[in-house]
Amino acid sequence: MSEDKTVLCVRDLTVGLDNDPAARILDGISFDLKSGEILGLIGEAGSGKTVLARALVKGLGAPLVTRSGAVHYKGADLLGLSERKLSKIRGKEIGYIGANPQGSLDPTIPVGNQIVEKLLSVSPGMSRKAATERALEVLAAVRIPSPEVRFHEYPFQFSGGMMQRVMIVDALVTNPAVLIADNITQPLDVTVAAQIIRLIRDLREQFSTAILFISSSLPVAETVADEVMVLQSGRIVEKATPTALVQNPQHDYTKSLLSRLPRIWGEGISGPEAADTRTLMTVEDVHRTYFVRKKGSFRGVNAVQAVRGVTLDIREGENIGIVGESGCGKSTLTRLLAWLESPQAGSIRFAGQDLSKLGAKDLTKLRQSFQLLLQDPYSSLPSRMPIGRIIAEPLLIHGLCKRSEIRGRVLAAMREVGLDPALENQLTVGLSAGQRQRINIARALVLEPRLMILDETLSALDQVEQSKLFEVFDRLQKTHGFTYIFISHDMALVRKVCHRVAVMYLGRIVEFADNNALFDNPAHPYSRALLSAVPTLDDHPFSSDEYLLEGEPPSPVHIPPGCSFRSRCPLAQEICGRVDPVAQVLPGGGSAMCHLVGQDAPARSLAAGK
Amino acid sequence: MYLLNFLIRRVLQGLVVLLIVSFAIFALLRVVPGDPARLIVGGMAPDEVVVQKAEELGLNDPIVVQYVRYLGDLARGDLGNSFFRPKSGATVGAAAYDDPSRNERAEVLDLILERIPLTLQLAGLSVVFALIISFPLGVAAGLNPGKWQDRLAFFSGSVFVSLPNFWLGIVLAQLFSIKLGILPSIGYKGFEYTILPAFVLAIGISPFIIRTLSVSIAQIMHEEFIAVAPLRGLKRPRIVVAHAIRNASIPLLNLFGIQLGILLGGVLVVELIFDYPGLGRLTINAVLQRDFPIIQGVAIFISAIFVFINIAVDLAASFIDPRLEY
Ligand code: SF4
């Protein structure tokens, strides 16, 4: 009986390059997809995931070519069909969703019209009215608020998560038998990604679609898939149920994947302990609001409250993590901390000196002590300058030492970050992202700073590079006593390296606590929601079903009165709508901005779901 | 509401531009050699007549006073009178200073209004021709980068760019008017007189359009939404027409707004070649004769056209792509 349920049957699919007969991007891929099943496929960057997703529907472009194999669907081999016959299936019976929701639709046409356009294209008999109704119906089914309004909006008016919902609608609107979801949660914030995953699970029941769920993250695939295949360099090396795969991996590659997964919770897992050292930087109640012209209006401006009263103390030699979803004000706070912008209210003191009170000369001097490293290692390096010169540049600008000493300091810095001194006279072309990031670090290092601000500095790198660079940071910290601020959305990284963690929401730090206190017993409902959404194989202390947030943060232009988290808070009470909570000191020494904190203990643990 | 705001803002900006342009022209014309009073009364007139004429025209007042007076007239729709052209027609430069016909000079506004439809007709038709020539070449090139279509577009663009318009005008006039006798080329007695000059102009501007189209289409074809469109179930012709060309039309519109100057410059030359009685010929004659009121009037008119077309271009672009704020 179960044989009958197979809808898509892939046999020996092999993809190569048209200019290289020996190349194998995909090598002998075979699997069956049954209706109502979610089949996971995981693989790292470059393993051929996206190529597979597109090869299944004959969507490969040069230089990729399908060498051999078949994709059977309803008795026909899709790969052998003419474009005309294929167009009756592709997009209609086989839906596709990619990893770039915001780029997947024409930016100049309202999303609704594009869904209707697609529907009319694959079902020529349909009337425009029927298509519109159908589109609205599915928009409502994926829980897009006020679908009639959003139907007429343009892709740029949607957030990443909402746009991914639109793309899900676009794929499901024809009621396809097969859905290919290619890494669809990858660009999204964790809480939003968790919502999308839950949506996919619900939709499977509603639409009884067979789903090929491709992901670069094993924990993500594990939460949705009935079975998971592991793709390594174009080959499927293992296929098993998620539980079997995690508990009893067969193939070496799967084992190494598992072992490389960062752990967040579990036995023997704890974050670095905070130490009470001297305070290096004090941030007191800083505010930053941007005024942007209202679209289409004559004089009106919107006040975007990016940072609204952040207070933070950073101790000598510690690692501070600042986490939060996109739009929470992390980047603005970063620019304030690096003094690239000054706050409109509040003060920042570094080593006892108020930065706003310093003259230009003293400021320049003090500035050497805190350095900002950015995420993008590509655009931040000049391409026509030899590496040694790039690193020497800050010394030349600041005129810090004698010319004769410069070379020695540059070479020393290169050695410290693990760059081969032989690279001194080469250009940056051809260097990996990790090497480039090392140049950036060396460039900051020659100034002998005390504080380094790392804005998603490691997030562009793969796991291996990441941990190598982290070793570099660690060594520098031990030898020079550096202090680091990690601005990151990667909770696993923060768990591993930060002593204390600040959680941001809508321009505020809603909780600031020691690593272990935050991860094991978060006080603020938002911290809990954020942690519960983190994909991990570890046993979550909080079940994601209980804490999963609905919706998205309100816009920083219209911040609701009272607690700004109220619109999404599962524990919101009457008082939350009236009174804006202030930071309360937590028993463990941290602080959180929530009315429930500081109430008697039973109420709190009730709130914590224990 | 948005639209109204936009229009008010842009028209105000446009007025500022017009003010600046008119003052610049006004000031420049006062510093070039040649005394307008002397020019008007003619070389033979005695000096008293010149002085009297200058007084009459207010040429002795400070330049700012003169300018404000000019603006006042302008606001009433009076662009002044030509120095030389009588109401009746032919210029009177050679007539004696006391010839009574000298006082009956043509109004600049009339002169311009009489010719501007012809110039607009010429410019409009040439844009139509240019689009007809460029679209197939540019779109095909954009869809097939590196292939023969691309090379064809590049080749034709290079050839078109290197054809001087006066030469092309003469060759085409020889071929179509003299040899084949199917199209007239000199003067203007009806619509068919616009075709040849418009074609010559079109050849001049199409390289820009071909290039912009092919580059932007090629770029758009690499966008994610084009790449996934077939997977979503859209068919190729639809993707190209409804999405690629639609998106490519925005750079094209912008090009049009920017390159308008080149088009108008071409119009002047081509009108001269074909003896086409439009704004261009009027201007060139006025420059040769130092007929300041006409030069000023034409300059203001052309700036107004510039401002107007740029507003229209931005409006059209923001209708196509709402991300562009107007
Ligand atoms: S103050 Fe109220 S709404 Fe805000 S986080 Fe606490 S419980 Fe939720």
- DSSP classification of residue A304: E
Q: Does A104 touch chain B (CB under 8 A)?
A: yes
Alpha carbon of A575 to ligand 1 centroid (Å): 9
pLDDT band at B306; cut points 50, 70, 90: confident
Residue A595 CA, closest ligand 1 atom number: 1
Which of B224, B323, B326 has the CB atom closest to A100's CB atom? B224
Q: What is the DSSP string of A497-541?
A: H-SEEEEEETTEEEEEEEHHHHHHS--SHHHHHHHHHS--SS--S
Do A302 and A468 touch, CB atoms closer than 8 A? no
- Cβ-Cβ contacts under 8 Å, B320 against chain A: 108
Minimum mean pLDDT range among A308-312, B230-234, B257-261: B257-261
Q: Using CB atoms, which residue from B8, B9, B323 is nearest to A107? A: B323
Flag whether residue A85 sits within 8 Å of chain B, measured between CB atoms. no
- Whether residue A228 is predicted with pLDDT greater than 90 in this model: the reply is yes
- Measured CA to CA, the distance from residue A195 to residue A162 in angstroms comes to 10
Per-residue pLDDT at A514 exceeds 80:
yes
Q: DSSP class of residue B244? A: I
Comparing CA positions, the residue from B297, B301, B305 lying closest to residue B81 is B297
Confidence of residue B142 (pLDDT cuts 50, 70, 90): very high
For residues B268 and B186, give the distance between their C-alpha atoms in angstroms, rounded to a whole number.
15
Structure-token pair, residue A550: 């609905």
Is A171's CB within 8 Å of B247's CB? no
Q: How many other C-beta atoms are found inside a 10 Å radius of the C-beta of residue B136?
A: 14
Q: Select from A98, A122, A156 the Cβ nearest to the Cβ of B228.
A: A98
On the question of pLDDT at A377 being above 70, the answer is: no
- Residue A122 in contact with partner chain B when CB distance is under 8 A: yes
Report the phi/psi class of residue B58: left, alpha or beta, with left for phi > 0 and alpha for psi in -120 to 50. Answer: left
Task: Give pLDDT tens digits for B45-61.
Answer: 777 787 887 777 777 77
d(CA B247, CA A177): 33
Q: Which amino acid is at B54?
A: A
Confidence at residue B216, expressed as pLDDT on a 0 to 100 scale: 94
Question: What atom of ligand 1 comes closest to residue A581's alpha carbon?
Answer: 1
Average pLDDT value for residue range A26-38:
90
* Backbone φ and ψ of A430, nearest 5°: 80, -5
B81-86 vs B105-107, strand pairing mode: antiparallel
Q: Looking at the predicted structure, is the pLDDT value of residue B307 above 70?
A: yes
| Residue B320 near chain A (CB below 8 Å) | yes
Q: A601 CA to chain B: closest CA distance, Å?
A: 51
C-alpha torsion B152→B154→B156→B159, nearest 10: -140
Average pLDDT over every residue of A410-431: 85
Label the pairing between strands A451-455 and A483-487. parallel
Tell whether B319 is within 8 A of chain A (Cβ): no
3-state secondary structure A83-117: HHHHCCCECCCEEEECCCHHHCCCCCCCHHHHHHH
- Interchain contact A57–B (C-beta under 8 A): yes
Report the pLDDT value the prediction gives residue B87, as an integer from 0 to 100.
65
Distance from CA of A113 to the nearest CA of B (A): 12
Tokens 């261009």 correspond to B280
- Residue partners of B322: CB distance under 8 A and separation at least 6: A108, A154
pLDDT in tens, A328-353: 888 889 989 988 888 999 999 988 88
Nearest Cα neighbor of A536 from A272, A284, A336, A246 is A246
Q: How far is the centre of ligand 1, averaged over its atoms, from the C-alpha of A317 (Å)?
A: 33
Decide if A296 and B1 are in contact by the 8 Å CB cutoff: yes
pLDDT at B24: 87
Average pLDDT, chain B: 84
Interior angle at CA A567, CA A526 and CA A562, nearest 5: 90
Distance CA(B122)–CA(B191), nearest Å, equals 10
At A4 the pLDDT is 63
Residues of B in contact with A54 (CB under 8 A): 231
Q: Does B189 touch chain A (CB under 8 A)?
A: no
- How far is ligand 1, taken at its centre, from the CA of residue A333, in Å? 23
CA distance B214 to chain A (A): 19
Give the per-residue pLDDT at A1.
40
Taking the CA of residue A448 as centre, how many other CA atoms within 13 Å lie in the half-sphere pointing to its CB? 9
Q: Give the DSSP H or E segment for A285.
A: strand A279-293
Residue A431: in which H helix or E strand, if any?
none
Write out the DSSP string of A435-472. HHHHHHHHHHHTT--SEEEEESTTTTS-HHHHHHHHHH
- The answer to whether B8 contacts chain A (CB < 8 Å) is yes
CB A402 within 8 Å of CB A383: no
Rounded to an integer, the average pLDDT of A515-528 is 89
Of B6, B230, B247, Cβ closest to residue A90: B230
Q: Contact at 8 Å (CB) between B172 and B199?
A: yes
A599 token code pair: 């109430």
Burial class (CB in 10 A: 0-12, 13-18, 19+), A26: buried
Is pLDDT above 80 for B36? Answer: no
Provide the pLDDT confidence category of residue A545 given band limits of 50, 70 and 90. low
Residue span of the structural domain in which B126 resides: 111-280
Structure-block tokens of residue B67: 């300018």
The pLDDT of residue A229: 94
pLDDT at B128 over 90: yes
Vertex A305 angle, CA A300 and A309, to 5°: 145
The Cα of A509 is separated from the nearest Cα of chain B by a number of Å equal to 33
pLDDT value, residue A602: 38
B263 falls within a domain: yes
What secondary structure letter does DSSP report for A609? Answer: T
Residues A440-493: tens digit of each pLDDT: 888 888 888 889 998 887 776 777 778 888 888 888 888 888 899 999 888 888
SS3 A37: coil
CATH classification (class only), A269-360+450-610: alpha beta
Which residue ranges have their beta carbon within 6 Å of ligand 1? A 525, 563, 565-566, 569, 571-573, 576, 581, 594-596
**Distance between CA atoms of A135 and A113, rounded to whole angstroms?**
9
Round to whole Å and give the CA distance between B104 and B38.
18
CB–CB of B2 and A297 under 8 A? yes
Instruction: Name the more confident of B77 and A3.
Output: B77
Contact B231 A96 (CB under 8 A): yes
Q: Which residue, among A158, A154, A84, A73, has the nearest Cα to A113 in the 3D structure?
A: A154
Q: Closest Cα partner for B284 from B299, B297, B302, B269?
A: B269
A107/B contact by beta carbon, under 8 A? yes
Q: What pLDDT was estimated at residue B133?
A: 95
Å between B4 CA and nearest CA of chain A? 9
Do B233 and A90 lie within an 8 Å CB cutoff? Answer: yes
Distance A506 CA to ligand 1 centre (A): 13
Determine the Cα–Cα distance for residues A134 and A173; give it in Å rounded to an integer: 7
Residue range A373-388: average pLDDT? 78
Q: Is the pLDDT of residue A606 over 50?
A: no
Chain A residue nearest residue B225, CA to CA:
A104
* Residue A162: band (very low, low, confident or very high) from pLDDT cuts 50, 70, 90: confident
Q: Which atom of ligand 1 is nearest to the CA of A571?
A: 7
Quickly list DSSP for A178-196: EEEEESTTTTS-HHHHHHH
All residues of chain A having their beta carbon less than 8 Å from the beta carbon of residue B231 are 54, 57, 59, 90-91, 96
User: What is the per-residue pLDDT for A609?
Assistant: 40
What is the domain count for chain B?
1
Overall size of chain A counted in residues = 610
Mutation for A interface: B220, B232, B240, most A CBs within 10 A: B232
Number of H helices, E strands in chain B: 13, 2
3-class DSSP state for residue B128?
Answer: helix
State the pLDDT at residue A167.
93
Q: Which of A509, A527, A571 to mutate to test the pocket of ligand 1 (most atoms within 8 A of CB)?
A: A571
Q: Work out the mean pLDDT of chain A and round it to a whole number.
A: 85
The DSSP letter of residue A349 is E
In a domain, B233, yes or no: yes
Q: Is B113 on the interface with A (CB under 8 A)?
A: no
pLDDT band at B226 (very low <50, low <70, confident <90, very high): very high
Tell me the chain A residues in contact with residue B235 when contact means C-beta distances shorter than 8 Å.
87, 121
Given this model, what pLDDT does residue B104 score? Answer: 65
Tell the residue number behind the tokens 């000049």, with chain if given: A382
Indicate yes or no: CB of B235 within 8 angstroms of CB of A87.
yes
The CATH number linked to B251 is 1.10.3720.10
Rounded to an integer, the average pLDDT of A171-181 is 90
Is B56 domain-assigned? no
- Residue A584 parent element (H or E): strand A584-585
Tokens of A444: 């900051």
CA of A602 to the centre of ligand 1 (A): 17
Greater confidence (A548 vs A113) lies with: A113
The amino acid at residue A15 is: V
Q: β-strand A353-354 against A345-350: which pairing, if any?
A: antiparallel
Which is higher by pLDDT, A293 or A435?
Answer: A435
Q: What pTM was computed for the model?
A: 0.80
Q: Which chain A positions have a beta carbon within 8 Å of B321's beta carbon? A: 107-108
Q: Which residue has the tokens 């202030």?
A: A582
Q: Containing H/E element for B294?
A: helix B292-320
Residues facing A293 on adjacent strands: A301
The length of chain B is 326
What are the structure tokens assigned to B49, written together? 């007549």
Cα four-point dihedral sign A183, A185, A188, A190: negative
* Residue A486 · residue A319 · CB < 8 Å: yes
Residue A295: per-residue pLDDT: 61
CA A197 to ligand 1 centroid distance, Å: 26
Nearest-CA neighbor of B230 among B218, B217, B214, B243? B243
Task: Compare all CA atoms of chain A with the CA of B9 and give the residue at the minimum distance.
Answer: A298
Q: Is B324 on the interface with A (CB under 8 A)?
A: no
What is the reported pLDDT for B28?
82
* Position B1 pLDDT exceeds 70: no
Inter-chain Cβ pairs, chain A and chain B, closer than 8 A? 79
Is residue A375 within 8 Å of residue A461, measured between CB atoms?
no
Closest CA–CA distance from residue A295 to any residue of chain B (Å):
7
Instruction: Give the rounded percent of residues in chain A with a pLDDT score beyond 70.
Output: 95
Whether the pLDDT of residue B217 is over 90: the answer is yes
pLDDT score recorded for residue B40: 73
> Phi first, then psi: what are they for A232, rounded to 5°?
-130, 125
Cα(A505) to centroid(ligand 1), Å:
12
DSSP state of A13: E
Check if A182 contacts B (Cβ < 8 Å): no
Q: Whose CA is nearest to atom 5 of ligand 1?
A: A594
Query: What is the pairing mode between strands A500-505 and A451-455?
Result: unpaired
Section B79-101 average pLDDT: 59
| Ligand 1 atom at shortest distance from the alpha carbon of A607 | 7
Is the minimum CB–CB distance between B4 and chain A shorter than 8 Å? no
Angle at A556 between CA A554 and CA A558, to 5 degrees: 70
Residue in A closest to B319 by C-alpha:
A108
Are A592 and A565 within 8 A, CB to CB?
A: no
Q: What is the DSSP string of A307-327?
A: EEEEEEEEETT-EEEEE--TT
Look at residue B313 and tell me whether its pLDDT is greater than 60: yes
**Residue with CA nearest ligand 1 atom 7:** A572
Q: Does A536 touch chain B (CB under 8 A)?
A: no
Most confident of A158-162, B239-243, B299-303: B239-243
- CATH number for the domain whose boundaries are A37-59+87-259: 3.40.50.300
